[in-house]
Amino acid sequence: MRPGDRLELRGPIGGYFTWEARDGGPLLLVAGGSGVVPLMAMIRHRAAAGAAVPTHLLFSSRAYDEIIYRAELDRRAAADGTLRVVHTLTRTQPPGWTGYRRRIDRDMLAEVAPPPAERPRAFICGPTPLVEGVAAALVALGHDAVRVKTERFGPTGGS
């Protein structure tokens, strides 16, 4: 930067992206990479509140070693039968991996998400293409768009 350079600043993209136990569920949490951070806060709050809200986390990472909070998620899911954690690894998988091996798509969401009739509260966080694709797929599957909340990061495509 030099004196006289012009900048454009933008505020956060997204809407009201929080969940509290009193909001109920079921919950569908979908994360891409570091997008798991605000969703992990929801999972921790859920546990601290003693809420047994059925919760599904679908978490996309590039590789097994890049799964953020992996040990904590494994521990929480093993101890809580109402928390289901599903991983998809998009670039490399360890030997013996039996989970998903692709980007999140409509078919994967149909298999992992609670059915639309259960009216889950969906929270999606990650890179913009993932967030937009998942939100559109959920609505196409019959989920109520009002119950789909998004938070994204990455380039915004400005000039």
Tens-place pLDDT, residues 55-75:
999 999 999 999 999 999 999
Which SS3 state, helix, strand or coil, does residue 75 take?
helix
Helices (H) and strands (E) in the chain, counts: 4, 5
- Average pLDDT of the chain is 92
Name the β-bridge partners of 133: none
How does pLDDT run across 97-129, given as a tens digit for each residue? 999 999 999 999 999 999 999 999 999 999 999
Per-residue tokens: 102: 């692709």
Q: Where are the domains of the chain?
A: 24-153
Output the pTM of the full model: 0.87
Judge whether 32 and 127 are in contact, CB under 8 Å. Answer: yes
For helices 36-48 and 70-79, give the axis angle rounded to 10 degrees: 30
Name the β-bridge partners of 125: 31, 151
Judge whether 60 and 103 are in contact, CB under 8 Å. Answer: yes
Which SS3 state, helix, strand or coil, does residue 87 take?
strand
pLDDT of 14 > 90? The answer is no
Measured over the CA atoms of residue 76, residue 45, residue 14 and residue 12, the dihedral's sign is negative
24-153: CATH architecture: 3-Layer(aba) Sandwich (3.40)
Report which secondary-structure segment, H or E, holds 31: strand 27-32
Instruction: With cut-offs at 50, 70 and 90, classify the pLDDT of residue 159.
Output: very low
Bin 68: left if φ > 0, else alpha if -120 < ψ < 50, else beta: beta
